[in-house]
């Protein structure tokens, strides 16, 4: 067995052992098509206030600028679909990915342990791990490595598992065997486009981020524009609408990660408790959560905006 084949098998075996749903590999290259797409997307100001999207343009398109002499991108999927959803009756909604502890930290810790074991097996090599934390086009690399296709809602979709999963990448200087891309299986379906209450899905695979509910409740630092009035459908953090209506998510299965389970507050709180939330309670509920990103002031702003929808 040659080294690329041997190392590829080790990565895939370890990924499965550490709980990743899938592991795919692609060869490092400059993303020429994505360069044109990203430039166009930024010119149309679809990124809204997410000015960080304008930074590190070249790094987003070439992993060699992130890891010197890199040869392979290993893409990984980690399931976060919950066994039970937070009750919606008399409640505000929160994206499923934020039910539990911050996925950045949880998955990075898993990858740290996994890479320790891999290095013990094959020796030292140069790599970096990424969990939605650097200028890398993770969905593009996941698509190239055969983990799924980019749906009309611009999410990566797996034929076997739908789209409720996190993506992570390992960029390394090892020569590995690349996987083949899979076909696009969205066909003529437009359920995600039809269901989006803010018309954020401009066309197939193109999202106007400035119109997205997730953007308004997480990324936006200023007041929520009037455009969103009566269109938020009770989402106080994130939005899952385009995923919830996707037919491929009928294949989603509950995750097995205890750290992604919703805490007791999320399971029992109603609208009144959310309206009365204090900084102290916010810090207790979301101590290890990705919701910290919007901060107490941001969550209060979102709740007040949703409350004003009802008057």
What are the residue numbers of the active site? 132
**DSSP character for 232?**
S
Given 3-state DSSP classes, what are the helix, strand and coil percentages for the chain, each rounded to the nearest 5? 45, 15, 45
Count CB-CB contacts under 10 A for residue 80. 21
Count CB-CB contacts under 10 A for residue 2. 9
Beta strands in 45-114 (DSSP E): 72-79, 93-94
Yes or no: say if 100 and 267 are a contact pair by the CB < 8 Å rule: no
- 227 vs 94, 196, 241, 287, CA distance in Å? 20, 14, 18, 32
- Rounded (10°) CA dihedral 273, 279, 283, 284: -50
Here the tokens at position 272 are 């009144």
81/256 Cα distance (integer angstroms) = 9
Q: In angstroms, what is the C-alpha Rg of the chain? A: 20
CA 61 remoteness from chain centre: 18
H or E element in which residue 144 lies: helix 138-144
Yes or no: say if 137 and 33 are a contact pair by the CB < 8 Å rule: no
In this structure, the strands spanning 149-150 and 127-130 are unpaired
Exposure string over 23-60, b if 16+ CB within 10 A, otherwise e: bbbbebeebeebeeebeebeeeebbbeeeebeeeeeeb
């Amino acid at each position: 067995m040659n080294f690329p084949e041997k190392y590829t098998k080790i990565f895939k075996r370890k990924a499965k052992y550490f709980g990743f749903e899938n592991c795919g590999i692609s060869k490092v290259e400059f993303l020429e098509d994505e360069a044109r797409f990203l430039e166009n997307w930024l010119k149309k100001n679809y990124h809204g206030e997410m000015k960080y999207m304008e930074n590190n343009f070249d790094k987003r398109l070439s992993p060699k600028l992130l890891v010197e002499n890199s040869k392979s991108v290993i893409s990984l999927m980690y399931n976060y679909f919950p066994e039970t959803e937070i009750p919606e009756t008399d409640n505000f909604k929160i994206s499923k990915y934020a039910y539990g502890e911050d996925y950045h930290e949880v998955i990075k810790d898993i990858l740290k342990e996994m890479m320790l074991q891999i290095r013990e097996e094959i020796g030292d090599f140069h790599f970096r791990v990424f969990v939605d934390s650097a200028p890398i086009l993770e969905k593009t690399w996941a698509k190239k490595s055969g983990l799924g296709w980019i749906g009309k809602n611009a999410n990566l979709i797996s034929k076997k598992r739908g789209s409720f999963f996190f993506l992570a990448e390992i960029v390394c200087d090892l020569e590995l065997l690349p996987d083949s891309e899979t076909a696009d299986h969205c066909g003529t379906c437009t359920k995600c486009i039809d269901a989006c209450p803010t018309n954020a899905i401009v066309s197939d695979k193109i999202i106007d981020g400035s119109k997205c509910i997730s953007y308004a409740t997480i990324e936006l630092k200023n007041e929520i524009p009037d455009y969103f009035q009566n269109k938020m459908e009770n989402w106080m953090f994130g939005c899952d609408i385009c995923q919830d209506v996707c037919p491929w998510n009928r294949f989603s299965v509950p995750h097995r990660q205890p750290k992604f389970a919703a805490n007791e507050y999320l399971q029992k709180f109603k609208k009144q408790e959310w309206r009365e939330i204090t900084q102290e309670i916010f810090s207790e509920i979301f101590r290890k959560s990705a919701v910290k990103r919007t901060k107490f002031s941001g969550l209060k702003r979102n709740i007040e905006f949703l409350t004003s929808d009802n008057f």
